[in-house]
Amino acid sequence: MAVLTCRGVERAYGDRVVLRGCDLNVEAGERVGLVGPNGCGKSTLLAILAGAEPPDAGTVQRPAQLGHLAQEPMLGEGTVGDAVDRALAWHRALIAAFERAHAVGDEAAAQDAQQRLDAAGWVQDHKVDALLTLLGAPDRSAPLARLSGGETRRVALALALLSSSELLLLDEPTNHLDAEAVDELQGWLTEYRGAAVLVTHDRYLLEALATRIVEVDDGVCVSYDGSYGDYLISRAERQAALSKAEDQRLSLIAREAEWASRSPAARTTKQQARLKRLDALMKTRPMAKERPFSLDLRAGLDRGRTLVEATGLKKRYGDRVILPGLDLTLRPGDRLGIMGPNGAGKSTLLRVIAGTEQADAGRLNFGPRVVIATLDQHRTGLDPDDTVMEAAGGGNTSVRVGGEDVHVTSFLGRFLFGRQQLDQRVRTLSGGERARLLMARLLLKGASVLLLDEPTNDLDLMTLRVLEEALLSFDGAVVVVTHDRALLDRVCTSVLAFEEDARCGTYATRLQAQAAAKERRAAAAQAAATKARAAAEPRAEAPRATKKGLSWKEKQELAALPQRVEAIEAELATIDARLGDPNTYRDPKADAQALQRRHAALSQELESVWARWSELDNKG
């Protein structure tokens, strides 16, 4: 059964036609990857499917409730908690519908609501907290107006995932997530039962989730069954067949045009039919030609010399240590990937190397004639009021590339900017187009060290492959902060991981860094469990009661804490069972909201008890 259907969707901006008749069906439980070059209309189509933007023509049938992550999300007013409450309004309405149907004896409606609640979950609090933590979203009390761009996207992604149990429409959901969070998100989406349409440059995510790939090609949707790998093969076969058919069409037009030019005026039915066929061939929309795009960043460096050497770099903000005394050496051919949670200090390290921020301690030395170029995740360095031509040429009509003068128009053509875009303002460019423009400027700079902060954000898959090839052949050094697991695995020669307690570890690969992190977490969890078991054992109570430094009253309090923890956990388990039982919501005497309030109060009390236990234990 289709949960989403669109027919003949068209959309144009001025004289630029983006969508020229898109048809798309999404079945229940299906995972569709929406792909295509930057500017082809993926985000526009997704916004139309979500109802956030109207089509110029065509129809869309969608479920009443869906989750939508826009490219530039708007969260409204209030706090993160307020936004979460708004996203979960559908769940409260579903419980209310179940209670009304049960009260009036409408068994069919009650059963339908119960089935939907069984699928979505009767209680959402644990799910909400787990999801916000997984995505690294700010605390519920954080004001929405003060969130950074990355925080806004993480909150918006959480709201989209919480707001629907039938259909998700996600535009670049992995942007601003660290590599570990992307792994967790992939696991969450794998277990999600509803349908999903995703626009993403994350090839691992597409390969793991997509059951079908839909490409927006020349304004229409072309569907390919199977995974992303299957799509690459099928697409190459389709492009070859289309190219052959286009060559045949052009050859036939040439022959028929030559006949028409030398034939007398058409009078017979056969001649008229032949002329009509020629007219139809000439009116057929030609095959859209794929424009080649390449990027050569090589600077002709000697591989033997050191480009950057850092010793004992330290940086802190207040009491928080960002760089713990980092040693780092970069030579030609080094491609260092940086991993770690958001806010750990990855971008700070890039700014210290670039010289835009000073370290508190340590030394930073550069080799002779080292030129550093930076591409930050906010795509700064471009004046939004400049035209594309002004941004690339700096007001000049030609630029210096590889020792030769090249006209700006020809140079920009290498980066897929047509002549009609030369006078376009930078502010009107898509994220991917701004990234391509910044890549063009990287090429002009002739850098020996590239500092790239989330360079894959908003890139289409073709541009991403071009960037990877350029980095692989680059003869300088690269330091790249990225959540793109495929780029880390394919491009980077080593990985620097920002870890717990302001530590940094160097590893050969991303997988090695993640395995080490899992081992540390497992060891920490085992140590905590051992300590908890020892604290709960009766024989351990007497030594704790006689610790020096505790008053008699504190000794009695400490001795009673294990029993208090057990009592709270037992009551929490009982409430969890009742809240997970649909009969709780059928019984008018059972106050589900009161149970939820009691659960929240007990959870806070349990945290306080653990904190008090730790305080007394340390004091003794």
The band of 211, judged by pLDDT with boundaries at 50, 70 and 90, is very high
Best CA proximity match to 117, nearest among 91, 99, 96 = 91
Query: Are both 573 and 489 inside the same structural domain?
Result: no
Q: How open is the CA angle 590-592-594, to the nearest 5 degrees?
A: 95
pLDDT of residue 242: 77
pTM score: 0.73
Maximum mean pLDDT: which of 401-405, 508-512, 538-542, 590-594: 508-512
Is residue 115 situated within a structural domain?
Answer: no
Contact 444, 297 (CB under 8 A): no
Rg (CA), the chain: 30
**End-to-end CA separation in angstroms for the chain:** 65
Letter for the amino acid at 477? A
Query: φ and ψ at 7, to 5 degrees?
Result: -135, 125
Partners of residue 317 on adjacent β-strands = 320
The band of 164, judged by pLDDT with boundaries at 50, 70 and 90, is confident
pLDDT for 223-249, tens place per residue? Answer: 999 988 899 888 888 888 877 877 787
Is residue 73 situated within a structural domain?
Answer: no
Is residue 542's pLDDT more than 70?
A: no
pLDDT of residue 581: 65
The band of 292, judged by pLDDT with boundaries at 50, 70 and 90, is low
Is residue 262 situated within a structural domain?
Answer: no
| Residue percentage of the chain with pLDDT more than 70 | 91
Q: Among 59-73, 168-182, 493-507, 548-562, where is mean pLDDT lowest?
A: 548-562
pLDDT of residue 411: 85
Query: Are both 513 and 541 inside the same structural domain?
Result: no
pLDDT for 522-536, tens place per residue? Answer: 787 778 777 777 776
Contact 347, 490 (CB under 8 A): no
Query: φ and ψ at 67, to 5 degrees?
Result: -110, 130
Query: Are both 542 and 415 inside the same structural domain?
Result: no
Contact 438, 379 (CB under 8 A): yes
If you ran DSSP here, which 8-state letter would residue 266 be given?
A: P
Query: Are both 506 and 569 inside the same structural domain?
Result: no
Is residue 345 situated within a structural domain?
Answer: yes
pLDDT of residue 582: 59
What is the Cα–Cα distance from 467 to 105, expressed in whole angstroms?
63
Examine the fold and report which residue of 518, 552, 568 is the final residue of a domain before the chain moves on. Answer: 518
| Residue percentage of the chain with pLDDT more than 90 | 28
Examine the fold and report which residue of 250, 268, 289 is the final residue of a domain before the chain moves on. Answer: 250
Maximum mean pLDDT: which of 85-89, 441-445, 600-604: 85-89
Query: φ and ψ at 322, to 5 degrees?
Result: -100, -55
Is residue 147's pLDDT more than 80?
A: yes
CATH code for the domain in which residue 487 is found: 3.40.50.300
Q: Report the domain count for the chain.
A: 3
Length reported for the chain: 620
Query: Which is it for the CA torsion 497, 501, 503, 508, positive or negative?
Result: negative
The band of 418, judged by pLDDT with boundaries at 50, 70 and 90, is confident
Query: Are both 460 and 355 inside the same structural domain?
Result: yes
Query: Are both 388 and 482 inside the same structural domain?
Result: yes
Question: In the predicted model, what is the mean pLDDT of residues 269-292?
Answer: 70
pLDDT of residue 536: 66
Is residue 330's pLDDT more than 90?
A: yes
Is residue 454 situated within a structural domain?
Answer: yes
Range of the domain at 62: 1-66+165-250
Choice between 458 and 75, residue whose per-residue pLDDT is larger: 75
Q: Among 289-293, 329-333, 336-340, 614-618, where is mean pLDDT lowest?
A: 289-293
Query: Are both 328 and 436 inside the same structural domain?
Result: yes
Is residue 464's pLDDT more than 90?
A: no
Query: φ and ψ at 176, to 5 degrees?
Result: 70, 15
What is the Cα–Cα distance from 89 to 525, expressed in whole angstroms?
36
Query: Are both 510 and 546 inside the same structural domain?
Result: no
Residue 450, helix vs strand vs coil: strand
Is residue 547's pLDDT more than 50?
A: no
Is residue 366 situated within a structural domain?
Answer: yes
Is residue 141 situated within a structural domain?
Answer: no
Is residue 362's pLDDT more than 80?
A: yes
Is residue 386 situated within a structural domain?
Answer: yes
Q: Could you give the residue ranges of the DSSP H alpha helices within 165-227? A: 179-191, 203-209
